[in-house]
Structure 1
């Protein structure tokens, strides 16, 4: 990444942009020398989007319109005042500047560094682990972008917890399944919430609260619409360096919660050993 590209990239660092808006930002960064002098129509053509999308992009960044954004791009290109300009620490092997894919990895590493500091006081995590371990059954909720995190947690949790119920599909049956879990004895629900937040996820959490469930929520921000003062909220930011979010930090936080739950389950090790023995008998795995 050239110095000019780094200056312009700093304008978008940490911004919540849609995939279409990120495509525009990527074109601006990759064509840093010419982007500040392009018309909105020219920029739209390069990004493969509509001209109104470029206008919405400028507004999303806090500008009145594209002309104001273009002036800011010219200023950043001229004097390097844009915030968050990367330094030489991000250089690739051999001294070359990292390319866009490497920049995405470096951004994800930075999010993991932040997670390290947040896990420095594990008391809240251990409390959440006890809540999850005690809930029979244990519903695990994650819709759309968060479905993968919920499914991963539920897959491993089922090896040590006697009754895990994955809720990864929305629709009219979702409220029924939450209420059925509560009727069956559930006392807590684990929720993964990542942008963009589905409206039905917010509604489902309302059903869970009304059913008396304690909510343990993994979200990307304390400002997420799923956050509630009554919940036990854990945050781990996603990275926005690529067109679609990368969520290594939320996934790792989920695994930390899983570890805390295992520590709170007295029979966890016995169940794991039983699973391994049965898997070996059935030759489930190659190794």
Structure 2
């Protein structure tokens, strides 16, 4: 992650002497305030520093990007893992108002799903499903904001398979919960900015035991993806203090359904038994 930041900053510095006056103003602003520039449109960035929108677009092209949105996305990749809640709040105040909040959030989630559908590797998805059936045990971890995702995945996979273990904070440490993991097992790790140290450590621990690693995260630049055997990327480009879980949850839904379709008879029997239990103990209205 840090290397990617240095590469982009170094590129700007190398190109700086050959830039126009307006482009130099943009370059210096980004070098000093890349965390703010990352979430500005070309028009807003230009207005903030006194240059035209077209100058901002040409600046991105000079750096080798196919338009300003590509440069902006590259900047966002650099900083989103480090944004504090206060910074996210400030950014969301800039882009989302009380009047447009519903439309803005729903539209952003739709765009994230569309982008994910276009980019996701379908073969990787199939390989992961196949690997789940070969695994002796499936460990699932997702901490803090990703705990809802890992819990959801573990809950439904437990209804289909008999070898699922949710790794979570509790009486025992996560390493104790993964004590017997080895090359016959799979760890599914879920994490989005800001990435938790413990999740990354759990991946390293499992990798050291030669377990297969499946990661669901937002980018190949994610520290979770570094040691993964399989990575599923869920776009998560919403500027808000609340992390959107819509896209990763959609991918997780697909995984659950794909596994379930191969175990139709077992699921039918399990659900029939569960319905009797729920009825007897009045679980549902």
**Coarse TM-score class (shorter-chain normalised):** 0.5 to 0.7
Q: Deviations over 1:166-219 (max 9, x none)?
A: 01227862112112243xx84211111111111111111111001111101101
Give the match's secondary structure for 1:271.
Answer: helix
1:130-169 alignment, distance < 5 Å: 130-169=130-169
Give the match's secondary structure for 2:210.
Answer: coil
Q: For the structure 1 residues 173 and 181, does the alpha-carbon distance in structure 2 shift closer, same or farther, using more than 3 Å as the test?
A: same
Paired residue for 1:279, among 267, 270, 274? 274
Whether the 8 Å CA contact 2:140–2:166 is kept in 1: the answer is: yes
Kindly state the Cα deviation for residue 136 of structure 1 after the two structures are TM-superposed: 2.2
5+ residue gaps, structure 1: 32-96
- Measured in 2, the distance between the counterparts of 1:126 and 1:29 equals 37
Whether the 8 Å CA contact 1:104–1:241 is kept in 2: the answer is: no
Kindly state the Cα deviation for residue 262 of structure 1 after the two structures are TM-superposed: 3.3
1:69-80 alignment, distance < 5 Å: none
1:25 aligns with 2:82: no
The residue aligned with 2:185 is 187
Q: How well do the aligned residues superpose, as a CA RMSD in angstroms?
A: 3.1
- Measured in 1, the distance between the counterparts of 2:201 and 2:172 equals 11
Kindly state the Cα deviation for residue 116 of structure 1 after the two structures are TM-superposed: 1.7
Q: For the structure 1 residues 242 and 9, does the alpha-carbon distance in structure 2 shift closer, same or farther, using more than 3 Å as the test?
A: farther
Between stretches 9-18 and 166-175, larger displacement belongs to: 9-18
- Measured in 2, the distance between the counterparts of 1:187 and 1:29 equals 44
Q: Deviations over 1:79-134 (max 9, x none)?
A: xxxxxxxxxxxxxxxxxx97023211111110010122134x52211111111122
Between stretches 186-195 and 14-23, larger displacement belongs to: 14-23
1:102 aligns with 2:103: yes
Kindly state the Cα deviation for residue 9 of structure 1 after the two structures are TM-superposed: 9.7
Length-normalised TM-score, structure 2: 0.65
Aligned residues: 212
Length-normalised TM-score, structure 1: 0.65
The residue aligned with 2:125 is 125
Paired residue for 2:265, among 265, 270, 274? 270
1:217 aligns with 2:215: yes
The residue aligned with 2:116 is 115
The residue aligned with 1:175 is 175
- Measured in 2, the distance between the counterparts of 1:104 and 1:217 equals 25
Whether the 8 Å CA contact 1:154–1:165 is kept in 2: the answer is: yes
- Measured in 2, the distance between the counterparts of 1:181 and 1:285 equals 35
Kindly state the Cα deviation for residue 140 of structure 1 after the two structures are TM-superposed: 0.8
Give the match's secondary structure for 2:160.
Answer: coil
